[in-house]
Amino acid sequence: MIKFDFTYTLSDNVANGLTYDEINSFEQQITNFLTRFDENKPGFVNAVLTRKWVDSVNELSDFIFTFDNIVVLGIGGSALGNIAIQNALRPFNWNSLSSEERNGYLRVFIVDNVDPDYLSSVLDCINPKTTLFNIISKSGTTAEPMANYLIVRSILETHGLDPKEHLIFTTDSEKGVLRRIGREEGIRMLEIPPDVGGRFSVLTPVGLLSAKAAGLDIEELIIGAREAYERTIKSSLWENPAALLATIHYLHYKKGRNISVMMAYSNKLYYLADWYRQLWAESLGKMYDNEGNRVNVGQTPVKALGAVDQHSQVQLYNEGPDDKIITFLRTEKFDREITIPKLHENEPELAYLGGKKLSTLLNSEQIGTQLALAKHGRPSLTVSFPQIDEYHIGQFFMYYELATAITGELFNINPYDQPGVELGKKITYALMGRAGFEEFNYTQNVQKRV
Ligand code: PA5
């Protein structure tokens, strides 16, 4: 199991930290919430308690393994989980390896933005003849993946390739233009469970297809998530990582720590912080509570990389405003190890490094940063991976999704909607001339001062 250490969030160890009484005061509310939650499980939990979604991906195995590349086109919750999984579980040079070195598994490209330089450079790397394009959009209408879809479809047609032999649509089971086109043209489709929102969808076909294509064990992702759920439902507050994550973040927010930094001491884990940023920001940043009162709550998630950001951000975290709670991600086992050579043994500034492992240096730096923060009265917690594999990454996703749901309860807001994002989408449609969205062209009323 991944391990959570909350030592440096408590008043025993940091000034203006939390007391046990403060935390315990939420025990009953969280117990009641989890009982209701388990009786009426949300879609993202049901998604890992069934084999249906894994099976739907496995059924496409024969088709996907005829390709050399998969390009995922999606944005937000339809991309960030894919990116996090690939970066955590495949080496950074994966797409540069030969097919043999990849054991025949696919190179994976994930295009979320509509930046022409970026998309062009990805398209330069692939041969459309040997490429599968997975268009992911829950709504089936979001401008960015739709624009990128039109571009790749036109490329396929220009090459005389049959789109239905190179496309998969991953979308809502009923709604949206992708579903309609897919049905009309007989394009292979994967279903996103109707009651799972984008940012909670990583362990559905949204994240599982590209993982499968890269040769990852998608069953283990699900097993890890399922075990995290079972532990959350069965455990009392102090044995319950999701409940403690929620309570501790909420209480520190109430003390003015309205920024949550996730700082990974592992390049592989760094992209989990990107996935977390969307989950925490979109789910908890809300204007109204469940009774319709205006509350404007939310904790701003920030990502950082250790040791790199020690030389960029950490001065601010130590001595700047006391408005942050830091989460460190670390691994006890790296896939590969390098021992620092013993050279310049007469130079004390270098000699102490000789013979030490690079991983020991990185993990010592994490402890050093955490202790320095504690000395400055800045709270932090640690999430430790015994190793970075499918099982532990699946656990991470589920613990954080559950922590988000519980924090939504503490804020008394709906963590599953995103009206602010939806408004931005409508204004974009209006600016791009989509019929039916004229009323959202707010630029007409703006008094410009440039
Ligand atoms: O979490 C969400 O619901 C959003 O961030 C979506 O994932 C994002 O807007 C993309 O939406 P869609 O998958 O409908 O294209």
Beta strands 286-288; 294-297: pairing state: antiparallel
* CA of 200, closest atom in ligand 1: 1
Which member of 249, 268, 282, 286 is catalytic?
Answer: 282
pLDDT of residue 423: 85
Lookup: tokens for 155: 């490329």
For residue 20, what pLDDT band results from cuts at 50, 70 and 90? very high
The answer to whether 208 and 54 are in contact (CB under 8 A) is yes
- pLDDT tens by residue, 212-248: 999 999 999 999 999 999 999 999 999 999 999 999 9
Residue 411, pLDDT above cutoff 90: yes
Pick the CATH number of 44-216 from 3.40.50.10490, 3.30.450.80, 3.90.78.10, 3.90.1150.10: 3.40.50.10490
For residue 422, what pLDDT band results from cuts at 50, 70 and 90? confident
What are the phi and psi torsion angles at 323 (to 5°)? Answer: -120, 20
Distance 79 CA to ligand 1 centre (A): 9
**75 Cβ inside 6 Å of ligand 1:** yes
* Amino acid type, 265: Y
For residues 344-370, give the mean pLDDT.
98
Pocket test for ligand 1, best of 400, 401, 421, 422 (most atoms within 8 A of CB): 421
Look up tokens 């990582």; give the residue. Answer: 241
Residue 286 bears catalytic tag: no
Distance 7 CA to ligand 1 centre (A): 35
pLDDT above 90 covers what percent of the chain?
Answer: 91
Residue 425 bears catalytic tag: yes
Residue 447, pLDDT above cutoff 80: no
Residue 445, pLDDT above cutoff 80: no
pLDDT of residue 441: 86
For residues 362-377, give the mean pLDDT.
98
Which one has a higher pLDDT value, 426 or 402? Answer: 402
Could you tell me the sign of the dihedral formed by the alpha carbons of 265, 268, 274, 277, in that order? negative
Residue 260: partners with Cβ closer than 8 Å, 6 or more residues away: 249, 280, 299, 300, 301, 302, 324, 325, 327
* CA of 199, closest atom in ligand 1: 1
pLDDT of residue 217: 98
For residue 421, what pLDDT band results from cuts at 50, 70 and 90? confident
**77 Cβ inside 6 Å of ligand 1:** yes
Q: What is the domain class of 3-38+221-411 according to CATH?
A: alpha beta
For residue 59, what pLDDT band results from cuts at 50, 70 and 90? very high
Residue nearest to atom 15 of ligand 1 (CA): 137
Residue 448, pLDDT above cutoff 90: no
* CA of 142, closest atom in ligand 1: 15
Distance 201 CA to ligand 1 centre (A): 10
Distance 138 CA to ligand 1 centre (A): 6
Distance 270 CA to ligand 1 centre (A): 21
Which member of 175, 376, 425, 426 is catalytic?
Answer: 425
Residue 446, pLDDT above cutoff 80: no
**421 Cβ inside 6 Å of ligand 1:** yes
Rounded Cα distance, 86 and 390, in Å: 11
For residues 409-433, give the mean pLDDT.
91
Q: What is the mean pLDDT of the chain?
A: 96
Which member of 311, 349, 439, 448 is catalytic?
Answer: 311
Rounded Cα distance, 81 and 99, in Å: 24
Residue 442, pLDDT above cutoff 90: no
Lookup: tokens for 205: 């076909």
Q: What is the ipTM of this complex?
A: 0.98
- Between helix 241-254 and helix 390-411 the angle, nearest 10°, is 40
For residue 443, what pLDDT band results from cuts at 50, 70 and 90? confident
Q: Which of 42-56, 225-239, 351-365, 420-434 has the lowest mean pLDDT?
A: 420-434
Beta strands 259-264; 300-305: pairing state: parallel
pLDDT of residue 210: 98
pLDDT above 70 covers what percent of the chain?
Answer: 100
Instruction: Determine how many CB atoms are found less than 10 A away from the CB of residue 32.
Output: 11
**138 Cβ inside 6 Å of ligand 1:** yes
**197 Cβ inside 6 Å of ligand 1:** yes
* CA of 197, closest atom in ligand 1: 3
The answer to whether 68 and 99 are in contact (CB under 8 A) is yes
Nearest CA to 177 among 434, 438, 439?
434
**282 Cβ inside 6 Å of ligand 1:** yes
Residue 324 bears catalytic tag: no
Domain boundaries, the chain: 3-38+221-411, 44-216
Residue 393: partners with Cβ closer than 8 Å, 6 or more residues away: 84, 85, 88, 89, 221, 224, 272
Rounded Cα distance, 286 and 268, in Å: 31
- pLDDT tens by residue, 109-163: 999 999 999 999 999 999 999 999 999 999 998 999 999 999 999 999 999 999 9
pLDDT of residue 254: 97
**80 Cβ inside 6 Å of ligand 1:** no
Lookup: tokens for 187: 């394009």
- pLDDT tens by residue, 249-297: 999 999 999 999 999 999 999 999 999 999 999 999 999 999 999 999 9
pLDDT of residue 91: 97
Pocket test for ligand 1, best of 72, 75, 284 (most atoms within 8 A of CB): 75
pLDDT of residue 157: 97
For residues 300-329, give the mean pLDDT.
98
